[in-house]
């Protein structure tokens, strides 16, 4: 019993889950059709019962009336032989012809003695039981009405019950077809009505998808003609989108002001930093001993701060849309200059450059120089002394491709999507970097309509960064 109850509950839950996954229009139409089916079933049951009873009553009345009519019209006569002795009973000439009388109703007529002996009968009349005390009998599919007539005789009028059953079954078939047809029409009508009612919601859904795709909350929300619940929903959504649009505008304005402020502040910081650096350099040359070491430490910190301010200024300019003027240049020259600048500080690293002339593109030379420096410095910072760092520039398929590879430990797969984020540094990074180098690379590549990606290294090497720019011409 417990397993049976569990099975019933599981089946009910599955049915409920399947029903909840149906579209609303189908649920509305199905509910309407089911309600119509229940109503029509009740109506058809009542009509069927009443009609069947009426048919039975009418059939019984017809059989009884026919038997009563025969009782009045059948006249028996005693037959005598030539010597005047009675030899039997027969019907008089005034009595109706039994076959003609029964033909119109397809009935059976017999005139019998009380014991059941047949005096007269219709052609091919079946056996019927002797008359009983009750005038009405049912036997072998016949309804029999027996009436006593003069001469101690009985007239039996019988009609087939199958005739009335066929009529009743035909009524049931028509009622069943009516019920199913009505339920089907209710389903179609409900589906059409629900579809029409859901049309404004479908329009709202289409607009919502367009807003999600374009991120433009200023798109117009369609309003249905009737001021119903859907109209209220459309008005509410429109008000919400207007409020979100205003909030987004205010946020974008605040962010724009913030970017402008950061860009201006970073720019203004360059002048006092330059003055501080100059004074510290002079002070370092004038001092000796511990004072000189303190001035040198301050000078190193100031130079690191100047680099950080320069990085922040570049990112702030990109965020604020202040793009430097682009001029025709050869990226191979820029890469060669950056590699030459790092040669004195590369230590035991081996920097190799493969940059044949002809990698022409349009860009800002200083920004591209910064991009190349950051890629090379990133490779030097995260590889062991004695390893190689290789920079390659080539023109391929209408693009200028810059790749920087190293022989270091590489970048773990779980960090590959994060290395271009601002201020991101690995857990074991003790190089003292700001974490802005690769984010500057991505920002500069973006301002030059290019892309940067971390690709699989060649020949099992460490890390391989590839930057692609549109080639000039």
DSSP per residue over 194-250, as a string? HHHHHHHHHHHHHHHHHHHHH--TTSPPP--SS-SHHHHHHHHHHHHHHHHHHHHHH
Q: Tens digit of pLDDT for each residue in 388-436?
A: 889 999 998 889 999 999 888 888 877 877 888 877 776 555 555 667 8
Question: How much is the pLDDT for 4?
Answer: 59
Question: How much is the pLDDT for 42?
Answer: 92
Q: Calculate helix-pair angle for 437-447, 365-381, nearest 10 degrees.
A: 150
Question: How much is the pLDDT for 460?
Answer: 66
Q: How far is CA 324 from CA 24, 70, 330, 447, in A?
A: 56, 122, 17, 9
Mean pLDDT, range 327-350, rounded to an integer: 88
Please identify, among 160, 188, 207, the residue that sits at the C-terminal boundary of a domain.
160
Note whether 307 and 353 are same-domain residues: no
Question: How much is the pLDDT for 360?
Answer: 92
* Total number of domains constituting the chain: 3
Note whether 441 and 348 are same-domain residues: yes
Between 215 and 108, the higher pLDDT residue: 108
Please identify, among 302, 322, 342, the residue that sits at the C-terminal boundary of a domain.
322
Question: How much is the pLDDT for 174?
Answer: 92
Question: How much is the pLDDT for 197?
Answer: 76
* Percentage of residues in the chain having pLDDT higher than 90: 11
Between 326 and 286, the higher pLDDT residue: 326
Question: How much is the pLDDT for 429?
Answer: 58
Query: Does residue 247 sit within a domain?
Result: yes
Q: What's the CATH number where 82 sits? A: 3.30.450
Question: How much is the pLDDT for 380?
Answer: 87
Domain that includes residue 462, residue range: 325-470
Q: Assign 468 a pLDDT band (cuts: 50, 70, 90).
A: very high
Q: Tens digit of pLDDT for each residue in 224-235?
A: 777 777 788 888
Indicate if the pLDDT at residue 375 is higher than 80: yes
Q: What is the C-alpha separation between 8 and 230, in angstroms, rounded? A: 39
Indicate if the pLDDT at residue 19 is higher than 70: no
Full strand arrangement of the beta sheet holding 350-354: 350-354, 388-396, 399-406, 464-470, 451-455
Q: Tens digit of pLDDT for each residue in 155-182?
A: 888 998 888 888 888 998 999 999 999 8
Question: How much is the pLDDT for 262?
Answer: 66
Query: Does residue 13 sit within a domain?
Result: no
Q: Cβ(338)–Cβ(374) under 8 Å?
A: no
Q: Would you say how long the chain is, in residues?
A: 473
Question: How much is the pLDDT for 267?
Answer: 63
Indicate if the pLDDT at residue 147 is higher than 80: yes
Note whether 243 and 375 are same-domain residues: no
Please identify, among 281, 307, 322, the residue that sits at the C-terminal boundary of a domain.
322
* Percentage of residues in the chain having pLDDT higher than 70: 87
Tokens of 35: 């309600």
Question: How much is the pLDDT for 383?
Answer: 84
Note whether 340 and 451 are same-domain residues: yes
Indicate if the pLDDT at residue 13 is higher than 70: no
Question: How much is the pLDDT for 46?
Answer: 93
Q: Assign 384 a pLDDT band (cuts: 50, 70, 90).
A: confident
Question: How much is the pLDDT for 5?
Answer: 58
Query: Does residue 46 sit within a domain?
Result: no
Note whether 271 and 335 are same-domain residues: no
Question: How much is the pLDDT for 470?
Answer: 92
Mean pLDDT, range 253-280, rounded to an integer: 72
Indicate if the pLDDT at residue 355 is higher than 70: yes
Query: Does residue 299 sit within a domain?
Result: yes
Indicate if the pLDDT at residue 102 is higher than 70: yes
The 10 Å Cβ neighbour count of residue 436 is 22
| DSSP 8-state code for residue 329 | E
Question: How much is the pLDDT for 400?
Answer: 92
Query: Does residue 65 sit within a domain?
Result: no
Between 201 and 133, the higher pLDDT residue: 201
Judged by average pLDDT, the poorest of 85-99, 185-199, 318-332 is 85-99
Indicate if the pLDDT at residue 121 is higher than 80: yes
Between 302 and 133, the higher pLDDT residue: 302
Note whether 282 and 369 are same-domain residues: no
Note whether 226 and 252 are same-domain residues: yes
Question: How much is the pLDDT for 136?
Answer: 86
Tokens of 327: 């001029």
Question: How much is the pLDDT for 8?
Answer: 63
Indicate if the pLDDT at residue 80 is higher than 60: no
Mean pLDDT, range 115-127, rounded to an integer: 84
Helix (H, G, I), strand (E, B) or coil at 7: helix
Indicate if the pLDDT at residue 11 is higher than 90: no
Across all residues in the chain, what is the average pLDDT? 81
Query: Does residue 188 sit within a domain?
Result: no
The 10 Å Cβ neighbour count of residue 117 is 10
Q: What's the CATH number where 432 sits? A: 3.30.565.10
Query: Does residue 49 sit within a domain?
Result: no
Which residue's structure tokens are 């604020």?
320
Tokens of 13: 């839950």
Q: Tens digit of pLDDT for each residue in 234-258?
A: 888 888 888 888 887 788 777 777 7
Note whether 255 and 335 are same-domain residues: no
Q: What is the C-alpha separation between 202 and 366, in angstroms, rounded? A: 53
Between 315 and 129, the higher pLDDT residue: 129
Note whether 347 and 453 are same-domain residues: yes
Note whether 389 and 415 are same-domain residues: yes
Query: Does residue 464 sit within a domain?
Result: yes
Q: Assign 467 a pLDDT band (cuts: 50, 70, 90).
A: very high
Note whether 296 and 340 are same-domain residues: no
Q: Tens digit of pLDDT for each residue in 427-455?
A: 555 555 667 888 888 888 888 899 998 88
Question: How much is the pLDDT for 433?
Answer: 63
Question: How much is the pLDDT for 177?
Answer: 92
Indicate if the pLDDT at residue 85 is higher than 60: no
Note whether 375 and 350 are same-domain residues: yes
């Amino acid at each position: 019993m417990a397993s049976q109850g569990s099975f019933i509950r599981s089946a009910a839950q599955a049915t409920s889950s399947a029903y909840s996954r149906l579209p609303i229009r189908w649920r509305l139409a199905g509910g309407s059709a089911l309600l119509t089916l229940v109503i029509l079933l009740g109506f058809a049951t009542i009509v069927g019962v009443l009609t069947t009873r009426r048919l039975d009553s009418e059939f019984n009345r017809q059989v009884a009336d026919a038997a009563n009519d025969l009782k009045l019209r059948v006249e028996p006569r005693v037959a005598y032989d030539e010597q005047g002795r009675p030899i039997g009973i027969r019907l008089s000439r005034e009595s109706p012809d039994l076959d003609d009388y029964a033909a119109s109703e397809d009935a059976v007529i017999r005139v019998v003695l009380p014991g059941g002996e047949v005096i007269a009968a219709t052609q091919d009349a079946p056996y019927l039981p002797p008359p009983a005390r009750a005038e009405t009998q049912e036997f072998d599919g016949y309804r029999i009405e027996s009436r006593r007539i003069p001469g101690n005789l009985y007239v039996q009028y019988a009609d087939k019950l199958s005739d009335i059953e066929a009529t009743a079954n035909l009524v049931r078939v028509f009622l069943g077809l009516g019920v199913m047809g009505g339920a089907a029409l209710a389903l179609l009508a409900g589906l059409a009505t629900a579809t029409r009612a859901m049309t404004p919601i479908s329009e709202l859904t289409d607009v919502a998808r367009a807003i999600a795709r374009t991120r433009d909350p200023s798109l117009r929300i369609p309003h249905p003609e009737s001021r119903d619940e859907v109209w209220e929903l459309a008005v509410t959504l429109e008000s919400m989108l207007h409020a979100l649009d205003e909030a987004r505008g205010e946020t974008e304005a605040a962010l724009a002001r913030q970017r402008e402020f950061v860009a201006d502040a970073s720019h203004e910081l360059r002048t006092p930093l330059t003055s501080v650096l100059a004074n510290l350099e002079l002070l370092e040359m004038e001092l000796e001993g511990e004072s000189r070491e303190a001035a040198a430490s301050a000078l190193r910190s100031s130079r690191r701060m100047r680099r950080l301010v320069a990085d922040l200024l570049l990112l702030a300019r990109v965020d604020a849309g202040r793009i430097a003027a682009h001029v025709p240049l050869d990226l191979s020259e820029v890469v060669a200059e950056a590699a030459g600048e790092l040669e004195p500080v590369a230590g035991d690293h081996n920097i190799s450059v493969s940059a044949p002339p002809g990698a022409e593109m349009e860009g800002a030379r200083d920004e591209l120089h910064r991009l190349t420096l950051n890629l090379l410095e990133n490779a030097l910072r995260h590889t062991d002394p004695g390893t190689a760092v290789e920079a390659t520039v080539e023109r391929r398929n209408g693009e200028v491709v810059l790749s920087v590879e190293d022989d270091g430990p590489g970048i773990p797969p779980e960090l590959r999507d994060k290395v271009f984020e601002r201020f991101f540094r690995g857990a074991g990074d003790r190089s003292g970097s700001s974490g802005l180098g690769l984010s500057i690379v991505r920002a500069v590549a973006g301002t030059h309509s290019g892309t940067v990606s971390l690709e699989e290294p060649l020949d099992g090497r460490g890390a391989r960064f590839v930057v692609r720019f549109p080639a000039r011409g």
